[in-house]
Structure 1
Amino acid sequence: MGTTEGAAVEIEVAGRAVRVSSPDRVIFEATDSTAAVTKLDVARYYAAVATLGGRPGESRPAAVAGGAPSDVGGLLRALWHRPTTLERWPRGVREGMVLATREGAGRGTRESPDAFYQKRVPSGAPGYVETATIAFPSGRTADEIAPTEPAVPVWAAHMGTIVFHPWPVRSGDVEHPDELRIDLDPQPGTDFADARRVAMVARDLLEEVGVRGFPKTSGNRGIHVFVRIEPRWTFTDVRHAAIAFGRELGRRTDGVTTAWWKEERGEAIFVDYNQNARDRTIASAYSIRPKPGAPVSTPVTWDELAELDDPRAFHVGTVPARLEPGGGPHGDGVDPWAEIDDVAHSLDPLLAWYERDEEEGLGDLPYPPEHPKMAGEPRRVQPSRARRPAD
């Protein structure tokens, strides 16, 4: 097996030589519309999107505290000083493979999963891999990688990483998020077109309160809208803001739900407010997703999104060209999210909506099942089970 996957190679990334083992290993098999993708292809992809897409001219510091300098590449901007969980698929992505949803689950046993989340810095990490200490809801802590240079994602690809899951905080302040994440998740009976329609209403709603959102495809059927916020609220506050936004979005257009339990959602776009809870993360901008064809979670402009019919057009083979000279929506190779660190917004308007809803009897919503019980949270019981008669 090792001989067919090739001897290790080194690729240069921003002045660093990064070793990539088993470069010929097929990570994504070919599809009718995409070529096979090897481990070396993944590493080269991450080298490209981590270095390309910065704004031209002299490097300038970000306008908001902790943000990436103006010339930083697209992927690195998304990960800049953020504690980041690695989603590792060391044997590649195949139909039927299992991703362990809890760190360490099944590893080292006969039922070892095919893929897993790496929340702690892998042993043997190079000296240039910076870290940040984060606290989980349980109170336990861990040191996670916090990328600050393009070689880090490439080294992670050598370790079998497919997806990067950054926290919405920076290493300088891990208790106060600087990012609100609006996850528009199509439920059965809906599709990308439905998510796109709702996203355009979300854009207008954000603009109504003076907030600029930055959209990206999820790499599947959904859409993510990220908002840079001032880092002065807790995870609980930001989650409440997401709940309030989702509820208000549902008042402005049909086909939107914030119902946590799947049996209550119906054919709608679910605003997954819990993606803003502590230790919940979303695949970063420019992350590959473990789906056939190696699709990419791709930043787009609002105008692009309005015209986008099939997000599968964005994959490992097409996305780097968007960040090269002459590429992208404006033909300048600049990342559509290049301005995300220019302004940090206040959550006050959304939190005012949350307070209004509370006064009208709409309180908190359930947390994920693995999260500790929180003050003010409703019963975490599936409605159909709660209604069952006693034996």
Structure 2
Amino acid sequence: MTPITEVAGRRITLSNLGKVIHPATGTTKGELLHYYATVEAALLPHLRDRPVSFLRYPDGPGGQLFFTKNPPPGTPAWVATTPVPRTEDPRARQVMVQDLPSLVWASNLVVEFHTPQWTAAAAPAVADRLVLDLDPGAPATVVDCCRVALHLRERLAADGLESFAKTSGSKGLHLLVPVVPTPSERVSAYAKRLAVEAGAELPRLVTHRMTRALRAGKVFVDHSQNAAAKTTATPYTLRAREQPAVSAPVTWEEVEACAAPADLAFLMGDIAPRLERYGELLGPLFDAGRAGDVP
């Protein structure tokens, strides 16, 4: 029998709650839904008003993975959508996860949440965040990403910009920077300048080029996710991995102290205790007074 639950007055059909999604830990779909309901107060502000893209993995990381921007078939009428015109489809719309019922509905699809650096409430392609994705090429690890993150933190501070770190939930780190609303093209150009500079200043450690052959043993500073059409894994999202890894906010003290990849590897069960201990480390992203001007 398919269970139906009521969340804040919305009836939601749930399915296969006992299905194992993350085989390394035996984590079930029901446990995934419980995780998202538990962290909703921290997660929802990062989703709200942003068109959401889903990486779906309904059969776990070893099954079929597919990325979708369009509202999935069967999306309830009460789930908000927003126009996001694309060249191939000028009438395209995307889901917005605005509340707990929408979050539970989306979580039942088994998804990674991915969001752009702009909100639908602003003018099109006007960013309120800058992101730098630090991606290590083996044998480099997140330990090397931390060294680069500290360098970039100082560089951003020199331009009057405050940065915050989170794990990617995979191998690397993401730096998030609150900015006053700025056209995405301008943010992208500045982010690229930062990546190129970092490559010049730390040539043995950093590359700004995407070519895989150039990335071995270095940290790729990916600036491309500032483009209006690009997205980044949303803070607190689970990732399609063997274990239920989370894209988790971290303190700068943790970045400074990181000595091994395990130091910055967080699973689903780690997040509620971290929220209790640290609060919402990315809360300043929503404080307009912390946003800086893009040079």
TM-score (norm 1): 0.69
Cα distance in 2 between the residues matched to 1:274 and 1:138: 21
**Runs of 4+ off more than 6 Å:** none
Identify which of 24, 41, 44 aligns with 2:18. 24
AA at the equivalent of 2:281: P
Identify which of 304, 313, 316 aligns with 2:268. 316
Structure 1 residue 266: Cα displacement: 4.2
Closer, same or farther: CA 120–248 of 1 in aligned 2, 3 Å: same
Task: Indicate conservation of the 8 Å contact 1:220/1:312, yes or no.
Answer: no
**Structure having the larger proportion of residues in helix:** 2
* Structure possessing the higher radius of gyration over alpha carbons: 1
Corresponding pairs, count: 289
Task: Indicate conservation of the 8 Å contact 2:118/2:228, yes or no.
Answer: no
Q: Which stretches in structure 2 are left out of the alignment for 5+ residues?
A: none
1:39 is aligned to 2:44: no
1:92 is aligned to 2:60: yes
> 1:83 corresponds to which residue?
51
Specify which structure has the bigger relative contact order, considering alpha-carbon pairs within 8 angstroms and separated by 6 or more residues: 2
Task: Indicate conservation of the 8 Å contact 1:13/1:47, yes or no.
Answer: no
Q: Which stretches in structure 1 are left out of the alignment for 5+ residues?
A: 1-6, 51-72, 98-113, 349-391
TM-score (norm 2): 0.90
Structure 1 residue 316: Cα displacement: 1.3
Q: 1:183-220, CA deviations, whole angstroms, 9 ceiling, x for partnerless residues?
A: 11101221111011111111111111111111100011
> 1:246 corresponds to which residue?
195
Closer, same or farther: CA 320–10 of 1 in aligned 2, 3 Å: farther
Task: Indicate conservation of the 8 Å contact 1:20/1:43, yes or no.
Answer: no
Identify which of 92, 99, 124 aligns with 1:142. 92
Structure 1 residue 130: Cα displacement: 1.2
Q: Name the SS of the counterpart of 1:293 in structure 2.
A: coil
**Structure having the larger proportion of residues in strand:** 2
Q: 1:3-32, CA deviations, whole angstroms, 9 ceiling, x for partnerless residues?
A: xxxx43345545645332111111111x3x
Task: Indicate conservation of the 8 Å contact 2:136/2:220, yes or no.
Answer: yes
Q: 1:231-267, CA deviations, whole angstroms, 9 ceiling, x for partnerless residues?
A: 231x322221111011222344341111132223342
Closer, same or farther: CA 25–244 of 1 in aligned 2, 3 Å: same
Percent identity reads 30
Closer, same or farther: CA 197–227 of 1 in aligned 2, 3 Å: same
AA at the equivalent of 2:22: F
Closer, same or farther: CA 238–25 of 1 in aligned 2, 3 Å: same
> 2:218 corresponds to which residue?
268
Task: Indicate conservation of the 8 Å contact 1:246/1:273, yes or no.
Answer: yes
> 1:347 corresponds to which residue?
294
AA at the equivalent of 1:40: G
Measured on the aligned residues, the alpha-carbon RMSD in Å equals: 2.0
Q: Name the SS of the counterpart of 1:151 in structure 2.
A: helix
Cα distance in 2 between the residues matched to 1:197 and 1:89: 32
Q: Name the SS of the counterpart of 2:233 in structure 1.
A: coil
Q: Name the SS of the counterpart of 1:230 in structure 2.
A: strand
Cα distance in 2 between the residues matched to 1:201 and 1:74: 28
